[in-house]
């Protein structure tokens, strides 16, 4: 397919708000190591997070390669000859993605004059189909410090089959790519490493560098302290939560159940809790670790509602990660049994079919609100499986707490009033204007990725550290993607995976939360972070999770 130079006018035709325009003019500072001559220093050889022998077999060319750090140098380590570099966005949107691209672009403009940069359109499919736009100064400019992924858009395809790897190879050859930067989450970075290995095995000159993206915050390790977008998304959600808290306290009559993004890990819920001090925040990892049942979770919430009613508070705010019920072991068991039963039997009106469930599963099923029971039985995906993801957890929990409260009221144990209001904050946070932190972090990630490519590196993920310090003191380098990997057994084969970083129950953010949550439960310690500010007070603050994990005093 032919090059599509600026096929749509992109944002050039857009009208910008005053704030968007002011962000366009916001000057980005670089870590000082990137603002003058630098060279790369290799660290010791790396291993893998788990099963290094299997990882070594899967990545014969890349396994064991060292991570690299940029250090100041007297003169350029490599000749600044022009490069041809492609970039691709993979997976869901996260604030700051455009700045990663701007970082790569500016690096090439400054350190490799005459370079060409291609943006693959619509995610990895763009790489496979060689569908791209050539990026130039005019095209890139309107996206600086702006939210969204619409400069080149994203996609959820993966480069997996031998044919698809061949297509990627053809594209790399056709465009004579020196490098490809893959901006994505855990899966996309695993994929980036497989492509790097493949290109190396084919003796292609094309290097591949990953960048850590996901608002969920579950792609991180020692050298990659956070994924971009998490900071902005949590601050947007926290603004809304803070507003709802003030509303709850003002009207005094609602319990707001707020579901937040984060299916696999509960980092967003934990961070928003640390920012806003809700009465209750449920953390999936804790529910799983303690093998809690839905009844346990309901009782925990209901106990707090009852104690608050005694204190005269018939209102509150409760945060819930969207993946909560995936963490409840008994729910997993029920779902598995339901899938089995529904595949072979019919569901009779009288409910005789329920006797096919194991006793505990039957008990759980009957504990669920009727609307959820119905949803489990009726809404099936294309494989006929129950669709857990479609359950509106916040509404389910409202009904369950309501039912438990009615029981207690009948027993004379509760005299309050309870009105639940449900919220889901999701799409609102994925495409906001990046915070100053995400704007700078992404720019450094992209600029650093350019430096890694120029130095001939492949199979690394761009890593920027020392993030609690001023931007000028941030460290820049690359971490071997293989060092983040473990294997999973799928269809009788080992498959490499970057394990999602879960909320650690012995980590500083969760421990901080545990130390204060009882107080938050009964007393009203609500904080309203307010809208993200780009200048003035609070504009340069970073999120609590990062501060606590870095061990810096808040």
Stretch near its own copies under the rule CB under 8 A, chosen from 46-54, 126-134, 248-256, 469-477? 248-256
Residue of 251, 371, 387, 472 that binds its own copies (CB under 8 A) = 251
- 428 marked as binding residue: yes
Contact flags string 482-521 toward its own copies, x per CB under 8 A:
----------------------------------------
Q: Is residue 216 flagged as an active site residue?
A: yes
Q: 382 Cβ partners below 8 Å, 6+ apart?
A: none
Stretch near its own copies under the rule CB under 8 A, chosen from 105-113, 148-156, 441-449, 459-467? 148-156
Stretch near its own copies under the rule CB under 8 A, chosen from 102-110, 195-203, 351-359, 419-427? 419-427
Stretch near its own copies under the rule CB under 8 A, chosen from 62-70, 130-138, 379-387, 426-434? 426-434
CA nearest neighbour of 231 among 267, 279, 258, 185:
267
269: tokens are 């819920």
Stretch near its own copies under the rule CB under 8 A, chosen from 279-287, 301-309, 423-431, 462-470? 423-431
Q: Does 375 bind its own copies (CB under 8 A)?
A: no
- Smallest gap, in angstroms, from Cβ of residue 7 to its own copies? 11
Residue of 532, 542, 546, 548 that binds its own copies (CB under 8 A) = 532
Q: Does 525 bind its own copies (CB under 8 A)?
A: yes
Measured distance CA(266)–CA(281) in Å, rounded: 10
Say how many C-beta atoms besides its own lie within 10 A of residue 203's C-beta. 7
End-to-end CA distance of the chain: 52
- Smallest gap, in angstroms, from Cβ of residue 498 to its own copies? 23
Q: Does 239 bind its own copies (CB under 8 A)?
A: yes
Residue of 85, 240, 265, 304 that binds its own copies (CB under 8 A) = 240
Whose Cβ is closer to its own copies: residue 7's or residue 72's?
Answer: 7
Q: Does 246 bind its own copies (CB under 8 A)?
A: yes
- Smallest gap, in angstroms, from Cβ of residue 219 to its own copies? 19
Q: Is 10 exposed, middle or buried (0-12, 13-18, 19+ CB in 10 A)?
A: middle
- Which is catalytic among the residues 178, 216, 218, 326? 216
Specify the residue for token string 């925990």: 300
Q: Does 139 bind its own copies (CB under 8 A)?
A: no
Return the DSSP state at 13: G
Q: Find the DSSP H helices in 202-266.
A: 230-251
Measured distance CA(488)–CA(466) in Å, rounded: 32
Contact flags string 154-193 toward its own copies, x per CB under 8 A:
x---------------------------------------
Using CB under 8 A, count the residues that bind its own copies: 61
Say how many C-beta atoms besides its own lie within 10 A of residue 407's C-beta. 12
Residue of 107, 447, 474, 526 that binds its own copies (CB under 8 A) = 526
Q: Does 124 bind its own copies (CB under 8 A)?
A: no
* Cβ atoms of residues 393 and 325 within 8 Å: yes
Q: Does 537 bind its own copies (CB under 8 A)?
A: yes
Q: 165 Cβ partners below 8 Å, 6+ apart?
A: 159, 194, 195, 198
Backbone angles phi, psi at 553, to 5 degrees: -65, 130
CA nearest neighbour of 211 among 38, 441, 496, 26:
441
**Which uninterrupted H or E stretch holds 421?**
strand 420-425
36: tokens are 């003058």
* Cβ atoms of residues 510 and 226 within 8 Å: no
Q: How far is CA 343 from CA 336, 338, 380, 390, 423, in A?
A: 11, 8, 11, 19, 33
- Smallest gap, in angstroms, from Cβ of residue 6 to its own copies? 16
Q: Does 20 bind its own copies (CB under 8 A)?
A: yes
Whose Cβ is closer to its own copies: residue 252's or residue 351's?
Answer: 252
Q: 504 Cβ partners below 8 Å, 6+ apart?
A: 285, 510
Residue of 179, 185, 217, 242 that binds its own copies (CB under 8 A) = 242
- Smallest gap, in angstroms, from Cβ of residue 466 to its own copies? 22
Q: Does 141 bind its own copies (CB under 8 A)?
A: no
437: tokens are 């932190």
Residues 64-103 that bind its own copies (CB under 8 A): 92-93
67: three-class secondary structure by DSSP: coil
- 322 marked as binding residue: yes
Q: 532 Cβ partners below 8 Å, 6+ apart?
A: 232, 235, 236, 239, 432, 433, 435
Residue of 109, 332, 466, 528 that binds its own copies (CB under 8 A) = 528
Whose Cβ is closer to its own copies: residue 367's or residue 534's?
Answer: 534
Q: Is 12 exposed, middle or buried (0-12, 13-18, 19+ CB in 10 A)?
A: exposed
Q: How far is CA 227 from CA 86, 158, 214, in A?
A: 21, 20, 6
Q: Does 428 bind its own copies (CB under 8 A)?
A: yes
Q: Does 533 bind its own copies (CB under 8 A)?
A: yes
Q: What is the DSSP string of 16-31?
A: --HHHHHHHTPPPP--
Whose Cβ is closer to its own copies: residue 177's or residue 241's?
Answer: 241
- Smallest gap, in angstroms, from Cβ of residue 290 to its own copies? 29
Q: Does 16 bind its own copies (CB under 8 A)?
A: yes
Whose Cβ is closer to its own copies: residue 480's or residue 532's?
Answer: 532
149: three-class secondary structure by DSSP: coil
Return the DSSP state at 380: B
Q: Which residues bind its own copies (CB under 8 A)?
A: 13-23, 92-93, 146-150, 153-154, 236, 239-240, 242-244, 246-247, 249-252, 254, 256, 275, 277, 421, 423, 427-433, 523, 525-538, 541
Catalytic positions, written as ranges:
216
Q: Which residues are annotated as a binding site?
A: 92, 186, 214-216, 253-254, 261-263, 322, 427-430
Q: Which residues are annotated as a binding site for substrate?
A: 214-216, 253-254, 261-263, 322, 427-430
Q: Which residues are annotated as a binding site for Mg(2+)?
A: 186
């Amino acid at each position: 397919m032919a090059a599509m130079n600026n096929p749509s006018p992109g944002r050039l035709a857009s009208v910008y708000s005053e704030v968007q325009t002011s962000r366009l003019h916001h000057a980005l500072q670089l870590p000082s190591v990137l603002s003058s001559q630098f060279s790369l220093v290799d660290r010791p050889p790396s291993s893998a997070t788990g099963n290094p022998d299997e990882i070594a077999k899967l990545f014969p060319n890349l396994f064991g390669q060292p991570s690299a750090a940029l250090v100041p140098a007297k003169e350029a380590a490599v000749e600044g000859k022009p490069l041809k570099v492609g970039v691709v966005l993979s997976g869901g949107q996260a604030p700051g993605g455009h700045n990663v691209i701007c970082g790569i672009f500016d690096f090439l403009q400054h350190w490799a004059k005459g370079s060409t940069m291609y943006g693959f359109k619509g995610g990895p499919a763009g790489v496979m189909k060689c569908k791209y736009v050539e990026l130039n100064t005019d095209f890139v400019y309107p996206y600086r410090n702006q939210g969204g992924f619409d400069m080149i858009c994203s996609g959820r395809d993966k480069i997996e089959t031998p044919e698809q790897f061949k297509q990627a190879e053809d594209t790399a050859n056709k465009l004579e790519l020196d490098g490809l930067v893959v901006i994505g989450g855990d899966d996309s970075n695993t994929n980036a490493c497989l492509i790097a290995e493949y290109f190396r095995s084919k003796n292609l000159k094309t290097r591949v560098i990953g960048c850590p993206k996901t608002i969920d915050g579950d792609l991180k390790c020692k050298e990659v302290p956070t994924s971009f977008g998490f900071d902005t998304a949590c601050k947007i959600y926290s603004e809304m939560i803070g507003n709802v808290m003030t509303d709850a306290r003002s009207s005094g009559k609602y319990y707001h159940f707020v579901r937040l993004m984060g299916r696999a890990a509960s980092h967003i819920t934990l961070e928003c809790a640390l920012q806003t001090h809700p009465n209750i925040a449920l953390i999936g990892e804790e529910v799983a670790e303690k093998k809690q049942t839905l009844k346990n979770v309901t009782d925990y919430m209901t106990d707090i509602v009852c104690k608050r009613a005694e204190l005269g508070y018939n209102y509150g705010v409760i945060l819930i990660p969207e993946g909560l019920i995936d963490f409840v072991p008994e729910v997993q068991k029920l779902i598995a049994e339901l899938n089995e039963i529904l595949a072979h039997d019919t569901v009779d009106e009288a409910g005789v079919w329920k006797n096919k469930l194991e006793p505990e599963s039957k008990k759980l099923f009957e504990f669920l609100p009727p609307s959820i029971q119905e949803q489990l039985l009726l809404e099936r995906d294309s494989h006929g499986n129950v669709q857990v993801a479609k359950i509106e957890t916040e509404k389910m929990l409202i009904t369950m707490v309501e039912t438990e409260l009615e029981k207690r009221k009948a027993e004379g144990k509760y005299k309050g009033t309870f009105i639940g209001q449900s919220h889901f904050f999701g799409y609102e946070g994925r495409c906001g204007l990046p915070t100053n932190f995400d704007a700078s972090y992404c720019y450094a990630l992209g600029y650093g990725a350019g430096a890694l490519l120029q130095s001939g590196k492949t199979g690394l993920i761009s890593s920027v550290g020392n993030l609690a310090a001023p931007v000028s003191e941030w460290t820049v380098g690359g971490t071997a993607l293989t060092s983040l990997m473990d294997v999973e057994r799928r269809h009788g084969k080992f498959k490499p995976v970057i394990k999602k970083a879960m909320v650690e129950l012995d980590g500083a953010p969760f421990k901080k939360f545990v130390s204060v949550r009882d107080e938050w439960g009964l007393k009203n310690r609500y904080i309203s972070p307010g809208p993200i500010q780009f200048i003035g007070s609070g504009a340069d603050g970073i999120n609590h999770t990062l501060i606590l994990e870095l061990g810096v005093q808040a």
